[in-house]
């Protein structure tokens, strides 16, 4: 079972992830419930999706440009970013752009090949929810958020870089 | 020397703890090999031919004597008593045990060192001029900027899983000794007409299987924008660099496929959002970092020491050494000294634990306790009083570190090659040794003059063969080890990629071929000041080729030309 971590705690997951079929065709949409749809589905039938009763989330694949959803943020309750392999680091930039440039405030979920040893950097780039690979010990993984207690750079979790915070302290 | 503050230390300590836990989980079977690989690589740990290989960062090549002693200790306790200084201002240990690596890292952390991001698809150790801070031709001291880049790149959360490795080099002098034209990003620190510091920014250089000289994408980047501009370049690369083919994943391919103009436009578009944001550097921060560097307390000395000039006149061996291994210094009465790790019969760049300890002592006694690692795989004492040079020479000689060959044919750059590296097509160390033996006669070497000879065991080009005046590349010919030879490459301001002279050679033929190249050069040079590479530039490769292969090749080419024309 995949486990959801949200705000550094194990959480129940009410969302259903809809994927394209192997042949690329779009999935059918369940009448009710909270769903996370792939970008092409949203682009093809935004009207129908908005008319449904459940909440609407959207997921971006690693090559999909977050600019494509910048105008749709108000319609969404969740955005997920897919990591086909954990070594495909495009999603880190996607997350920062969503948070820092397009102003996404809602849940930002990392899905796909997500493991304990990436949680710290993912969280610094603005993810607050993570669907961990099934085989992993989710409880032990929570400690990964505390791997480091400080960071040099500007990031979503610490928008002011260390050198400015340090200067403010000594001022 | 940059001295860590509490946060710098804490981060390195936390990294050790993190890796200790990752190693434990790997050994317990909780972390798969595939999942562990990128983690260990980002801590410098490769799995090589015989054992793991651990690459330790020597940020921008600067090393304190106590750090060198720690490296000696590591070599003795966890390795086989030696280490290999690399062209990237790192040191590699070839025989550590995986389960010992966390302890090694902890020992490194105790002397403000680490192996963070020395491998893997992330931002690597930033390299610079090995004469940074002491070179007479220096316009801007690059060290402070290197440390700022080190901090910015260390655990950068967005750029830990790039398409491929990413290397940044900084130069602040008129002569480029940091190879900035063959790095993913090359930064040339300059001053504008108003005296303000900034950077000329090059991108997309690199060696490897697609050697490319970098392109300037910004002529003058004012220093406050250094980090935001780097963020912009890296973000464009992270998002659009190719991930479908690891041989096309370096930024140089992206720059080439997009064209430099389009790439620059994309970076500028990204930068427009980041510029003047919180990453903008402040004068206070630059001053703070500057203060954390200890600087030698130089004495006021005469420009030229009488003792030194007398010794030069008296002893030919000393004069030979001083002519090659002693370099000018911007402070009167001081000099920088290269301790050659290129003694014949020793793998280029290798140093034993005893040598490391001894060099640490020399650094303490002669050079304010500091030294440098050069990308030519030598060690440098950067601040030696001229009046001490003779005594230092005698001591270095006793240690086998005074081979007077800097800039000469036997100062070979070579990668570990087939003796250690699992990617190799061919060995490099025995080839280096055979060439060193062939040209062992010092007078002959001096007569040949300045010559960079670089050897890589495969296309990955760790030995920089493309930019050697003579480059030797290990190739695989139906399972046998062969060597392809190129000439006319150069590093520095006039960086150029060498041209292959023709079909490759067996290992035992290589010294003869080099000899023939040298004979051609000596016969054709117009004066003793015309270097090998100058003659190649003037005459092209044809006369060299002809002498090496006879003119059989040419005849064949002519004939096919005639046939084609007929
Ligand atoms: C023995 C273990 C080593 C392995 C497995 C290794 C592997 C590699 C690989 C695969 C590349 C090519 C990367 C690419 O083009 O994308 C590379 C490049 C490079 N390596 Fe190594 N290397 C090793 C040791 C060294 C050593 C000892 C040095 C220094 C003497 C070194 C210096 C370099 C440099 C400077 C490059 C950059 C060339 C470029 O711009 O692409 N490596 N290495
Ligand atoms: S050039 Fe090839 S053989 Fe030499 S160290 Fe690099 S990868 Fe290994």
Pairing of strands B82-85, B350-352: antiparallel
Inter-chain Cβ pairs, chain A and chain B, closer than 8 A: 96
Nearest by CB to A93, from B239, B277, B285: name it: B239
CA distance A54 to chain B (A): 33
Residue of B nearest to A113 (CA): B35
CA distance A15 to chain B (A): 27
CA distance B459 to chain A (A): 24
Token pair, residue A21, equals 């079929």
Which residue(s) pair with B53 in the sheet?
Answer: B46
* Residue A114: per-residue pLDDT: 94
> Are the beta carbons of B158 and A155 separated by less than 8 Å?
yes
For CA atoms B318, B324, B327, B328, give the dihedral sign.
Answer: positive
- The C-alpha atoms of residue B8 and residue A23 are separated, in whole angstroms, by 51
Phi-psi region of B112 (alpha: psi -120 to 50; beta: other; left: phi over 0): left
* Residue A22: per-residue pLDDT: 85
Residues whose CB falls within 8 Å of the CB of residue B409, separated by 6 or more in sequence, listed in order: B435, B439, B445, B448, B451, B453, B514, B518
A160 in contact with B, Cβ within 8 Å: yes
Per-chain mean pLDDT for chain B: 93
Interface of A with B in 40-59 (CB under 8 A): none
Q: Quick check: B372 and B287 in contact, CB under 8 A?
A: no
pTM of the model: 0.92
Query: Which residues from A are below 8 Å from B160, CB to CB?
Result: 89, 92, 121
Segment A25-41 shows an average pLDDT of 94
Atom of ligand 1 nearest to the CA of B205: 40
Q: For residue A122, give the nearest of A68, A159, A79, A81 by alpha carbon.
A: A81
Beta strands in B115-196 (DSSP E): 127-128, 168-171, 185-191
**Residue A113, exposed/middle/buried by CB under 10 A (0-12, 13-18, 19+)?**
middle
Residues in contact with ligand 2 by the CB-under-6-Å rule are B 415-417, 421, 423-424, 456-458, 460-463
**Residue A160, exposed/middle/buried by CB under 10 A (0-12, 13-18, 19+)?**
middle
- The C-alpha atoms of residue B473 and residue B457 are separated, in whole angstroms, by 6
Closest-CA residue, ligand 2 atom 2, reads: B458
* Residue A24: per-residue pLDDT: 84
DSSP B201-215: EEES-B-TTS-B--E
Angle between helix axes B226-240 and B260-274 (nearest 10 degrees) is: 120
For CA atoms B381, B382, B383, B389, give the dihedral sign.
Answer: positive
* Residue A135: per-residue pLDDT: 62
Q: Quick check: B429 and B417 in contact, CB under 8 A?
A: yes
Q: For residue B128, give the nearest of B84, B171, B77, B95 by alpha carbon.
A: B171
Token pair, residue B107, equals 């020992």
Token pair, residue A73, equals 């943020």
Residues A33-49, buried b or exposed e (16+ Cβ, 10 A)?
Answer: ebbbbbbebbeeeeeeb
Å from CA of B163 to ligand 1 middle: 16
User: Residues A130, A135, A138, CA angle at the centre, nearest 5°?
Assistant: 45
Token pair, residue B85, equals 């200084």
- The better pLDDT of the pair A115, B553 is held by A115
Look at chain B and count its residues: 566
User: Does residue A126 surpass a pLDDT of 60?
Assistant: yes
Q: For residue B247, give the nearest of B273, B299, B290, B208 by alpha carbon.
A: B208
Most informative mutation of B51, B462, B464, B468 for ligand 1 (most atoms within 8 A of CB): B462
Domain A3-170 matching CATH 3.20.16: the answer reads: no
Q: For residue A25, give the nearest of A35, A38, A7 by alpha carbon.
A: A38
- The C-alpha atoms of residue B128 and residue B199 are separated, in whole angstroms, by 14
* Residue A133: per-residue pLDDT: 79
- The C-alpha atoms of residue B234 and residue A89 are separated, in whole angstroms, by 12
Q: Quick check: B336 and B326 in contact, CB under 8 A?
A: yes
Q: Quick check: B238 and A93 in contact, CB under 8 A?
A: yes
Q: Quick check: B277 and A154 in contact, CB under 8 A?
A: yes
- The C-alpha atoms of residue B489 and residue B472 are separated, in whole angstroms, by 11
A148 in contact with B, Cβ within 8 Å: yes
* Residue B551: per-residue pLDDT: 62
- The C-alpha atoms of residue A158 and residue B278 are separated, in whole angstroms, by 10
Å from CA of A122 to ligand 2 middle: 33
Segment A153-171 shows an average pLDDT of 91
B→A contacts (Cβ < 8 Å), by residue, are 7, 10-11, 14-15, 18, 22, 30-31, 35, 38-39, 121, 151-152, 154-162, 231, 235, 238-239, 243, 273, 277-279, 281-282, 284-285, 288
Nearest by CB to A149, from B10, B158, B159: name it: B10
Query: Which residues from B are below 8 Å from A152, CB to CB?
Result: 11, 151-152, 154-155
Token pair, residue B24, equals 């434990």
Which residue(s) pair with B338 in the sheet?
Answer: B380
Query: Which residues from B are below 8 Å from A155, CB to CB?
Result: 157-158
> Are the beta carbons of A90 and B7 separated by less than 8 Å?
no
Those residues of chain B that have pLDDT short of 50 are 559, 561-566
Å from CA of B424 to ligand 2 middle: 5
Token pair, residue B146, equals 């290197």
Residues B515-546, buried b or exposed e (16+ Cβ, 10 A)?
Answer: eebbebbeebbeeeeebbbbbbeeeebebbbb
Interface test mutation site (partner A, options B24, B29, B158, B290, max chain A beta carbons within 10 A)? B158
- For residue A170, what are the CA distances in angstroms to A165, B2, B4, B475? 9, 21, 18, 58
DSSP B489-545: -B-STT-B--EE-SS-EEGGGHHHHHHHHHHHHHHH-SSTTS-HHHHHHHH-SHHHH
B563 phi, psi to nearest 5 deg? -60, -45
Q: What ipTM was estimated for this complex?
A: 0.97
Closest-CA residue, ligand 1 atom 23, reads: B462
pLDDT tens track for A44-97:
999 999 999 999 999 999 999 999 999 999 999 999 999 999 999 999 999 999
Nearest by CB to B282, from A89, A90, A167: name it: A167
* Residue B284: per-residue pLDDT: 95
- The C-alpha atoms of residue A70 and residue B518 are separated, in whole angstroms, by 64
> Are the beta carbons of A90 and B238 separated by less than 8 Å?
yes
Q: For residue B380, give the nearest of B391, B389, B392, B371 by alpha carbon.
A: B371
Q: Quick check: B75 and B352 in contact, CB under 8 A?
A: yes
Å from CA of B457 to ligand 2 middle: 5
Q: Quick check: B425 and B458 in contact, CB under 8 A?
A: yes
* Residue B479: per-residue pLDDT: 87
A88 in contact with B, Cβ within 8 Å: yes
Residues B427-436, buried b or exposed e (16+ Cβ, 10 A)?
Answer: bbbbbbbbbb
A8 phi, psi to nearest 5 deg? 65, 25
- The C-alpha atoms of residue B58 and residue B71 are separated, in whole angstroms, by 11
Å from CA of B461 to ligand 2 middle: 6
Using CA atoms in the order B430, B432, B436, B437, what is the torsion angle rounded to 10 degrees? Answer: 20
- The 10 Å Cβ neighbour count of residue B297 is 7
Half-sphere exposure (Cβ direction) of A75: Cα atoms closer than 13 Å: 19
């Amino acid at each position: 079972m995949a486990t959801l971590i949200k705000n550094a705690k194990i959480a129940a997951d009410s969302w259903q992830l809809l994927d394209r079929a192997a042949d690329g065709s779009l999935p059918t949409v369940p009448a009710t419930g909270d769903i996370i749809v792939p970008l092409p589905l949203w682009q093809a039938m935004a009207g129908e999706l908005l008319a449904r009763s459940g909440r609407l989330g959207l997921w971006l694949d690693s090559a999909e440009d977050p600019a494509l959803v910048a105008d749709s943020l108000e319609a969404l309750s969740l955005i997920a970013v897919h990591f086909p392999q954990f070594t495909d680091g495009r999603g880190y930039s996607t997350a920062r752009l969503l948070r820092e440039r397009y102003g996404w405030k809602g849940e930002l979920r990392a899905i796909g090949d997500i493991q304990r040893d990436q949680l710290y950097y993912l969280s610094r780039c603005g993810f607050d929810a993570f669907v961990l690979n099934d085989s992993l010990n989710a409880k032990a993984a929570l400690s990964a958020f505390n791997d480091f207690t400080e960071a040099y750079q500007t990031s979503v979790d610490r928008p002011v870089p260390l050198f400015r915070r340090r200067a403010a302290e000594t001022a | 020397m940059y001295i860590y503050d509490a946060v710098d230390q804490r981060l390195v300590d936390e990294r050790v703890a993190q890796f200790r836990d990752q190693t434990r989980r790997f050994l317990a079977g909780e972390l798969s090999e595939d999942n562990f690989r990128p983690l260990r690589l980002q801590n410098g740990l490769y799995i090589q031919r015989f054992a793991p290989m651990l690459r330790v960062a020597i940020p921008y090549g600067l090393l304190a004597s106590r750090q060198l002693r720690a490296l000696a200790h590591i070599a003795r306790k966890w390795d086989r008593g030696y280490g290999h200084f690399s062209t990237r201002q790192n040191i590699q240990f070839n025989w550590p045990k995986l389960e010992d690596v966390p302890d090694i890292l902890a020992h490194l952390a105790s002397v403000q060192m680490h192996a963070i991001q020395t491998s893997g698809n992330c931002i690597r150790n930033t390299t610079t001029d090995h004469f940074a801070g002491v070179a007479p031709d220096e316009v801007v001291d690059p060290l402070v900027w290197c440390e700022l880049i080190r901090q910015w790149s260390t655990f950068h959360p967005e750029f830990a899983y790039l398409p491929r490795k990413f290397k940044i080099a900084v130069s602040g002098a008129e002569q480029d000794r940091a190879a900035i034209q063959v790095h993913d990003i090359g930064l040339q620190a300059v001053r504008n007409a108003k005296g303000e510091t900034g950077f000329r920014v090059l991108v997309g250089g690199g060696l490897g299987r697609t050697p490319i000289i970098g392109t300037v994408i910004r002529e003058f980047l004012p220093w406050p924008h250094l980090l935001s501009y780097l963020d912009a370049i890296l973000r464009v690369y992270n998002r659009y660099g190719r991930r479908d083919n690891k041989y096309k994943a370096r930024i140089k391919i992206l720059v080439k496929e997009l064209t430099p103009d389009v790439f620059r436009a994309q970076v500028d578009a990204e930068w427009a959002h980041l510029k003047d944001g919180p990453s903008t550097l402040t004068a206070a921060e630059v001053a703070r970092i500057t203060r954390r560097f200890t600087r030698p307390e130089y004495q006021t000395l005469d420009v030229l020491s009488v003792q030194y000039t007398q010794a030069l006149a008296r002893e030919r061996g000393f004069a030979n050494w001083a002519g090659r291994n002693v370099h000018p210094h911007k402070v009167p009465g001081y000099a920088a000294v290269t301790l050659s790790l290129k003694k014949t019969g020793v793998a280029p760049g290798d140093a034993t634990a005893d040598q490391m300890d001894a060099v640490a002592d020399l650094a303490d006694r002669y050079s304010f306790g500091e030294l440098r690692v050069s990308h030519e795989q030598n060690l440098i004492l950067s601040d030696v009083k001229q009046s001490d040079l003779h005594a230092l020479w005698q001591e270095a000689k006793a240690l086998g570190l005074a081979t007077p060959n800097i800039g000469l044919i036997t100062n070979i750059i070579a990668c570990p090659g087939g003796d250690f590296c699992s990617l190799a097509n061919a060995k490099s160390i025995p080839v280096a040794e055979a060439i060193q033996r062939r040209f062992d006669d010092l007078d002959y070497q001096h007569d040949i003059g300045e010559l960079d000879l670089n050897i890589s065991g495969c296309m990955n080009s760790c030995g920089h063969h493309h930019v050697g005046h003579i480059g030797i590349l290990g190739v695989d010919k139906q399972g046998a080890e062969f060597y392809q030879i190129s000439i006319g490459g150069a590093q520095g301001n006039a960086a150029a990629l060498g041209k292959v002279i023709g079909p490759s050679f067996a290992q035992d033929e290589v010294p003869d071929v080099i000899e023939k190249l040298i004979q051609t050069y000596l016969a054709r040079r117009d004066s003793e000041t015309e270097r090998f590479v100058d003659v190649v530039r003037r005459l092209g490769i044809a006369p060299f080729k002809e002498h090496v292969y006879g003119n059989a090749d040419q005849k064949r080419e002519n004939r096919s030309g005639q046939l084609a024309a007929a």
